[in-house]
Chain A
Amino acid sequence: MTSLVVSFAVVVIATSYVCTAVKEDEDIHLLTGTLRLAGVMALGLIGFAALVQLVTLLAG
């Protein structure tokens, strides 16, 4: 479980940083954009995973 959480966090942070770095100049915008995108990605992925679990539970 720990490796899953760590892997998830690392991939989300790296992806959000690179996707923000290619379109921002100033450091403060880079930081806020990265944090915002990381939050959106994390919530979106967790929500999608929860939906899949729910559908699986209902189907089972």
Chain B
Amino acid sequence: MTEPTPPTTPPATAQPVGAPVTAAPDPVEAMRLRGKIPELAAVLAWLVPGLGHLYAGYPIKGAVALVLLLGMHVAGLVVSRGDCVSLDQEHGHPYAFVAQLGAGLPTGAALAYAHGKLPWQPPALVVSDPEYVARLPDVDVGLLFTMVAGLLNLLLIHDLLCGVPGAALRRAEEARLARRLEALKAELQREASAGAPAATTPPAAPPAPGGTP
């Protein structure tokens, strides 16, 4: 399934030299014209990574983000058995939680589980328990996955708030530079043709020897 074609700027050759430069279309406005609300897409993306792009009409980006980021987040929770998301005073991870907040729903569910707010009660943690100490490397992996998933999701949220510009801005800049280059070439050609008649005039013939008596 192909991605929806973002609004593109006309190629440089389509505009005559010296014509007023057409401003690049605003990606946010283009998204609104398609009937999609960028702010709602951003909220959906925060709740579930990838859902915002699915709503905005980018199925491939949304599906891959869903699999990668949500999958990474869930894998981190599974590996650590939910211990990597916690605000508990004794063995919580408050600084990591700031990064994990980038993915709202999975982190919220894990936090509720860690603090016993869900029907499934987590096992009681004792810091001195050798079993808990043996699981600490798994908790580290869980922290890594959930933090990276949350932080990367912030980039996707920002992308949606900017209207998923993709390569549109880069293309607009390339088109602007191409038009500028064409204008400079035309100016050089005009200057060269204006100076050509003086350069091609043959030099005046020297006077014949032996003047009038």
Contact = CB atoms under 8 A, between A and B. Distances in A.
B3 interface: yes
Contacts of A15: 148, 152
A19 B163 CA distance: 16
A14 interface: yes
Interface in B154-204: 155-156, 158-159, 166-168, 170
A14 B148 contact: yes
Contacts of A7: 141, 144-145
A25 B69 contact: no
B110 interface: no
Interface residues of B, number: 27
B3 A26 contact: yes
B60 A27 contact: yes
Interface in A13-52: 13-15, 17-19, 21-27, 29-30
Contacts, number: 60
B144 A11 contact: yes
A24 B166 contact: yes
A10 B156 contact: no
B152 A18 contact: yes
B40 interface: no
Nearest to B168: A25
Chain A interface size band reads 10 to 19
A7 B146 CA distance: 12
Contacts of B98: none
A30 B141 CA distance: 28
Interface in B30-89: 60-61, 64-65, 68-69, 72, 75
B3 to A, nearest CB: 6
**Residue from A11, A15, A21, A26 with most neighbouring chain B CB atoms (10 Å):** A21
B148 A22 contact: no
Query: Which 4 residue pairs are nearest across A and B when measured between Cβ atoms?
Result: A25-B166, A18-B152, A22-B159, A25-B167
Given A7-B145, A27-B3, 6 more contacts: A14-B72, A21-B61, A23-B170, A25-B5, A26-B167, A30-B60
Interface of B: 2-3, 5-6, 60-61, 64-65, 68-69, 72, 75, 137, 141, 144-145, 148-149, 152, 155-156, 158-159, 166-168, 170
